[in-house]
């Protein structure tokens, strides 16, 4: 059986996204590098120019994890087989701190025919039926989560495309990179 990371690399490559996969690949290894317990508390959002941006629920955890980031960097780069991650930046995120407004029932969020066709196109080259179906469920769930977040007032960063809570055109990471304030 083909490892999921290898399969995702193939899918991204077929769709002209090999460079994007290469840059974001450390996100797939985050839990293996930091362990299940930390992975539940610290969510990696994206990688840009060798920097992993990670959201945590509070400042205390951000500080504690910052003390361990050298170890996490070594583990990630070892798993990647090369020195590709040079920095980890922890950020306190409002998303993890806010209580849920009401439970979201993802299975009730419909996808358009175009969205389903795009998902089917992404997995069309996967030969193993069980794996193809698992990937299909994964992509459907991810799309439904995105739709639920947009319905709850999240915005899409006009620079990087990540979803975030706020009224600005850029997410906080892009604002930091560009030296802008968050107002």
- CATH number of domain containing 79: 3.30.300
Would you state the pLDDT for residue 95? 46
Measure the CA–CA gap between 15 and 105, rounded to whole angstroms.
31
pLDDT at residue number 180: 64
74 & 107 share domain: no
Do 3 and 93 lie in a common domain?
yes
Residue 106 and residue 32 share a domain = no
How many domains is the chain partitioned into structurally?
A: 3
pLDDT of residue 87: 95
* Spatial distance between the Cα atoms of 140 and 180, rounded to a whole number of angstroms: 35
Residue 95 and residue 100: Cα distance in Å, rounded? Answer: 9
pLDDT confidence of residue 65: 92
Predicted confidence at residue 76, as pLDDT, reads 95
Residues 144 and 86 in one domain: no
Both 145 and 161 in one domain: the answer is no
Predicted confidence at residue 153, as pLDDT, reads 86
* Residuewise pLDDT in 10s, the chain (183 residues): 446 777 777 777 777 778 888 888 898 899 999 998 888 889 898 898 999 999 888 888 889 999 999 999 999 999 999 999 999 999 887 544 444 456 778 889 999 999 999 999 888 888 888 878 888 888 898 888 889 888 888 888 888 888 877 788 887 777 777 776 544
Domain that holds residue 114: 102-151
Nearest to 11 by CA among 147, 90, 123: 123
110 and 68 in a common domain: no
**Domain match, 125 and 181 both:** no
Q: Taking CA 125 as the corner, what is the angle to CA 121 and CA 128, rounded to the nearest 5 degrees?
A: 120
What values do phi and psi take at 144, rounded to 5?
A: -65, -40
Residues 82 and 146 in one domain: no
User: Domain check: are 6 and 64 in the same one?
Assistant: yes
Question: What DSSP string runs through 131-161?
Answer: HHHHHHHHHHHHHHHHHHHHHTT-EE-TTT-
Write down the pLDDT at residue 182: 47
pLDDT at 94: 54
Do 158 and 147 lie in one domain? The reply is no
Q: 67 with 56: CB under 8 angstroms?
A: no
Same domain, 11 and 80: yes
Cα end-to-end span (Å), the chain:
49
Residues 87, 130 within the same domain: no
């Amino acid at each position: 059986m083909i490892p999921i990371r290898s399969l995702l690399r193939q899918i991204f490559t077929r769709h002209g996204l090999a460079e994007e996969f290469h840059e974001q690949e450390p996100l797939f290894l985050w839990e293996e590098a930091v362990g299940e317990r930390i992975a539940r508390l610290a969510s990696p959002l994206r990688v840009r120019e060798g920097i992993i941006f990670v959201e945590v629920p509070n400042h205390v955890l951000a500080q504690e994890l910052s003390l361990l980031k050298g170890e996490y960097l070594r583990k990630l780069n070892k798993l990647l087989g090369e020195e590709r991650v040079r920095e980890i930046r922890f950020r306190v995120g409002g998303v993890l701190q806010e209580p849920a407004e009401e439970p979201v029932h993802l299975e009730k969020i419909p996808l358009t025919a175009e969205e389903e066709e795009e998902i089917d196109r992404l997995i069309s080259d996967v030969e193993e039926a069980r794996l193809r179906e698992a990937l299909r469920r994964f992509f459907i769930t991810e799309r439904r989560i995105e739709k639920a977040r947009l319905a709850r007032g999240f915005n899409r960063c006009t620079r990087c495309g990540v979803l975030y809570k706020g009224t600005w055109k850029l997410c906080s990471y892009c604002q930091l990179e560009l030296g802008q304030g968050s107002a």
